[in-house]
Amino acid sequence: MNDIDQPTTPRNGEAIHATGIEAFLRDSIPGLQGEMVIRQFPGGHSNLTYLVTFGDRELVLRRPPFGTKAKTAHDMSREYRILSALKDTYPYCPAPLAYTEDTDVLGCSFYVMERIRGIIVRHEFPPGLANSPEKIAGLCRKLVQVHHQLHAIDYRQVGLENFGKPAGYVQRQVVGWSKRYRAARTPDAPDFEDIMAWLEEKMPPDFPKPAIIHNDFKLDNVVLDKDNPGNIIGVLDWEMATVGDPLMDLGSSLAYWVQKGDPPEMQAVRFMPSDSQGALNRDELVGLYADLAGWTIDNYDFYYCFGLFRLAAIAQQIYYRFYHGQTKDKRFGTMILGVCALEKAARIKIEQSEL
């Protein structure tokens, strides 16, 4: 069993032509030797990720997906900027190496970073963790600690004071994702109107301590040490990072966390082993985060429900591209199942909520 992500031949319609890339990379990154080889990492559902090798040197190239994109999505410059700002402060960032907006090189903006070679957890834990509930619990605690460590950074001190607009963040997120969901809705998708209305009604005020937020912080976006898989050595996929409400970031992360007792529909779309023996449940994760931050989190239901809705909107945007023939990636055709499961989970939580 190989738990380190292995790149393959690019998917149909997602190959990139090397003519301009090689000259750009050799000019931008000193010391590249040997023949250039480009392969694609098969995971991920948004920005496309490729392994570019020059001999033994491994680089990772990130570019937007092909086809129509959401207006504000897939901003390569933002992703490159935050990695550049955090590289000396947050030890889990891949080192950024080169960025360009010159469409003559690849036809779009893109950036290149060093590869962090390690284990990416997908559907199951690797052998070093799978049979140890204690180690799984320890990794869950580490995951929360690494997330909180990001939120604890003073964004002004790392030059990100203009990276986001924390004032009015919650309202913009609720209104913005509602608009994006409606724009991406297909005839076979739930309308979510009552859930969007509940979120708008229950919005909390702006959190008094805005922070750098990842906005897609989850188990399969961290890299584990191959020799000690209970240790996190990297955090990937920074495309949605900004400065905003850290509790919104926490809620978005918890939306991915399917645990024992969740509806069968959510169990069916689970793609991380968050229901394994030893894994912390969502209440335990929230409690640990609150202890680390020194905060009281009273309105967890809102943040979790927002996370479920936001995740459904993201999945629906991806499914929209498949539904309208903008991508040939067959994985995207199943996204509608996740949208329906998330709608049911949000509805159940709202019915149980005392907010």
Q: Each residue of 78-107: pLDDT tens digit?
A: 999 999 999 999 999 999 999 999 999 998
CATH tag, 127-352: 3.90.1200.10
pLDDT for residue 102:
94
Residue 132 main-chain phi, psi, to 5 deg: -130, 95
pLDDT for residue 90:
98
What is the average pLDDT across 134-161? Answer: 97
150: Cα within 13 Å, side-chain hemisphere: 31
What is the average pLDDT across 14-32? Answer: 91
Is it true that 19-114 and 127-352 share their CATH fold? no
Residue with more model confidence, 65 or 307: 307
Local structure of 284: helix, strand or coil: helix
Has residue 1 got a pLDDT over 80? no
Residue with more model confidence, 239 or 350: 350
Q: What is the pTM of this model?
A: 0.91
Which class in CATH covers the domain with range 19-114?
A: alpha beta
Report domain extents, the chain: 19-114, 127-352
Local structure of 61: helix, strand or coil: strand
What is the average pLDDT across 12-16? Answer: 84
What is the average pLDDT across 167-190? Answer: 98
Local structure of 317: helix, strand or coil: helix
- What is each CA distance from 19 to 23, 25, 104, 105, in whole angstroms? 8, 11, 10, 8
- Confidence band for 265, pLDDT divided at 50, 70 and 90: very high
What is the average pLDDT across 18-35? Answer: 92
CA–CA gap between residue 260 and residue 202 (Å, rounded): 27
What is the full DSSP assignment across 112-168?
EEE---SB---SS--HHHHT-HHHHHHHHHHHHHHHHHHHTS-TTTTT-TTS---TT
Helices (H) and strands (E) in the chain, counts: 12, 9
Has residue 68 got a pLDDT over 50? no
